[in-house]
Amino acid sequence: MELYHIKGTVVKTGAIVNEVIEAPGPRTALRAVLRIHGRLKRRYDIYTESFLEPNAYPVSKPSAVIEPVLCDHCVCRIGKTIRNGTVTPDEYRLFSLYFERIIRSALRMCWTDVRDVPPSDMETEMIERIAFEFLPRFDARWKLRPFIRRNIISRLNKRWNRKKYVNGNIAKPRVQIEQQYAMATLRSPEKIDPEVTRNVLISTALRLEDEGRTLTRAQKKSYYQLIVHVGMHKECLKSSVQIETLEHCYGDNATTEREYGVTRGRKQATVHRNKRRAEDNVLKYIRKNLRYSIKTSVF
């Protein structure tokens, strides 16, 4: 004979049944309860209790590191202290450990075949992104960890596409674009000569003025990327804000206007205005001061 625990709800009355019956089997125990209370609704429970001897418990270390348990409110509070610069080393370590598995899983999935930026650097950057960019957008009605995971994967995909492609997934690979541009304008796909590139950039600015044309969005991006690459923006601009804006929007590790604004505490409209002014000032300086620095046009 064993003791059977039977839990369920009576069909007719809706009463909760919680009985302990001693019987030779589960069917006999259930029949005894049905005679007392009547028919039970489906999904009732019938179980017995048993106990392990102390020597039967396995003795071993956990196979994986246990993540720290933090409530959403605590995570947001630590993120706020990071933004304010008042975070303690223990809090920052706890914050990093809490998101470590999410970030590393996303890096294994999204950050592949990128040699110049190791995953460890991206892991540190994602911790900063979580504190400064993702958490301020978090709404308490959402689930925190899925929200952070979606944002991390989205940001890694954008960065990866920016590394590998021009204009994201809709255009040709960046390496192919750069080779075609070098062959068409510089006649040297193996090595870009800064002096030749400088002449090309000056000639382009003068020709646009003579013909009254403007660059398309894609052409403008390639043009100012070369401006930053050869360092002409530092020669043409006096404003440190405009120089910094061009470097962050067209440099090797370029970011979007919105991302750059978040990291610098500026609105996207302000960043866009500074970038447009910098672009216009570069062309004005070239047309005014560098018109006669080359004798012949490369085109």
Q: What is the pLDDT of residues 254-286, one digit of tens each?
A: 888 888 888 888 888 898 999 999 999 999 999
By C-alpha distance, which of 122, 108, 282, 102 is closest to 204?
282
Reading the block at residue 81, the tokens are 């202290």
pLDDT at 185: 53
**Tens digit of pLDDT at every position of the chain (299 positions):** 888 889 999 888 888 888 888 888 888 988 998 888 888 888 888 888 776 666 666 666 655 555 567 888 999 999 999 999 999 999 999 999 999 999 999 999 988 888 788 889 999 999 999 999 999 999 988 899 999 999 999 999 888 887 776 554 455 555 555 555 555 554 444 456 788 888 888 888 888 888 888 888 888 888 999 999 889 999 999 989 999 999 989 988 888 888 888 888 888 889 899 999 999 999 999 988 888 776 444 43
Q: Which amino acid is at 238?
A: K
Q: What integer pLDDT is reported at residue 59 of this predicted model?
A: 65
How many Å apart are CA 268 and CA 133, to the nearest integer?
Answer: 14
What pLDDT does residue 188 have?
42
**Among residues 247, 250, 271, 251, which one has the least CA distance to residue 259?**
271
CA distances from 185 to 192, 201, 230 (A): 10, 10, 15
Rounded to an integer, what distance in angstroms lies between the CA atom of residue 131 and that of residue 129? 5
What's the rounded Cα separation, in Å, for the pair 53 and 56?
Answer: 5
In whole angstroms, give the CA distance from residue 110 to residue 239: 37
CA angle 167, 258, 130 (to 5 degrees): 105
Q: What is the pLDDT of residue 200?
A: 86
Residue 173 backbone phi and psi in degrees, to 5: -55, 145
pLDDT, tens only, 56-82: 666 666 555 555 678 889 999 999 999
Closest CA to 231 of 241, 219, 218, 246: 246
Distance (Å) of CA 151 to CA 144, 158, 254: 11, 11, 19
Q: What is the pLDDT of residue 66?
A: 58
CA distance 126 to 115: 18
Decide if 114 contacts 165 (C-beta within 8 A): no
Q: Is the dihedral of CA 192, 195, 200, 202 positive or negative?
A: positive
Instruction: Enumerate residues 6+ apart whose C-beta is below 8 A from 249.
Output: 224, 255, 256, 257, 260, 271, 275
